[in-house]
């Protein structure tokens, strides 16, 4: 429901016609509903494989303990992660509009917010309020980073013959383009 409302609100702000408003609203609702569920199903399918791999290794190397690592997306289905992400969607849009120096208006990335904040939930022991506060800071900083790397994203996309949407001058991402470690490495590489 929140995807529908946000899609309609964004399309009204963009002055779309009625058909465009409904199309964007339904598309946004579908993306926000389906993407986290699809990834959750895929990740849950990895749990039995992980357990089987652990049992196999312990059988072959008795007396040793093994830990099989899984992607953080395994926790996306946790109720606190979902609640945090849903509240952060309108906060992200508001931050994108009011944050000084930000030039990124996330759309497709709104569906990736659960993956951006999923590791905050265990740190806060499932406290949704704290997760929202930390998530707001993470996304705010992420918007600045995504704005900073937008020229590079745009250059790479242009060199790969990516077809830009009508009216787009730059592209970026708050999921991949807002990673602080990647940004720090990029800044170091720019020195050389």
Query: What pLDDT does 107 receive?
Result: 80
Query: What pLDDT does 78 receive?
Result: 77
Average pLDDT for 103-129: 88
- Report the candidate in 36, 33, 131 with the shortest Cα–Cα distance to residue 80: 131
- 135 touches 88 (CB < 8 A): yes
**What is the residue-averaged pLDDT of the chain?**
86
Model confidence band, residue 95 (pLDDT cutoffs 50, 70, 90): very high
**What are the tens digits of pLDDT across the range 53-93?**
888 988 888 888 888 877 777 777 777 887 788 889 889 99
**What are the tens digits of pLDDT across the range 140-173?**
999 999 999 999 999 999 999 998 888 888 889 8
116 pLDDT higher than 90: no
**What are the tens digits of pLDDT across the range 7-23?**
788 788 778 899 999 99
Query: What pLDDT does 34 receive?
Result: 79
Q: What's the whole-model pTM score?
A: 0.71
C-alpha to C-alpha distance for 116 and 120, rounded to whole angstroms = 9
Query: What pLDDT does 177 receive?
Result: 83
Name the 3-class secondary structure at 139. helix
Please report, for the chain, the start and end positions of each structural domain, with discontinuous segments joined by +.
Answer: 2-190
- Report the candidate in 107, 114, 137 with the shortest Cα–Cα distance to residue 13: 107
Helix pair 79-98, 2-13: axis angle to 10 deg: 10
C-beta contacts of 177-184 below 8 A and 24+ residues apart: 177/104, 177/145, 177/146, 177/149, 177/150, 177/153, 178/116, 178/139, 178/141, 178/142, 178/143, 178/145, 178/146, 179/145, 180/141, 180/142, 180/145, 183/145, 183/148, 183/149
C-alpha to C-alpha distance for 17 and 19, rounded to whole angstroms = 6
């Amino acid at each position: 429901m929140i995807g529908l409302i946000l899609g309609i609100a964004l399309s009204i702000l963009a002055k779309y016609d009625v058909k465009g408003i409904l199309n964007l609203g339904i598309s946004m609702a579908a993306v926000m509903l389906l993407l986290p569920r699809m990834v959750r199903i895929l990740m849950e399918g990895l749990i039995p494989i992980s357990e089987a791999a652990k049992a196999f290794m312990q059988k072959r190397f008795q007396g040793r303990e093994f830990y099989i690592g899984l992607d953080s997306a395994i926790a996306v289905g946790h109720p606190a992660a979902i609640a945090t992400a849903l509240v952060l969607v309108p906060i992200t849009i508001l931050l994108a509009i009011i944050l000084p120096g930000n030039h990124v208006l996330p759309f497709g990335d709104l569906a990736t917010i659960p993956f951006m904040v999923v590791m905050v939930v265990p740190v806060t022991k499932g406290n949704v309020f704290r997760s929202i506060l930390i998530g707001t800071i993470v996304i705010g900083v992420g918007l600045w980073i995504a704005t900073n790397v937008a020229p590079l994203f745009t250059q790479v996309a242009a060199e790969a013959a990516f077809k830009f949407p009508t009216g787009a001058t730059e592209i970026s991402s708050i999921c991949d383009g807002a990673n602080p470690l990647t940004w720090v490495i990029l800044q170091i590489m720019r020195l050389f």
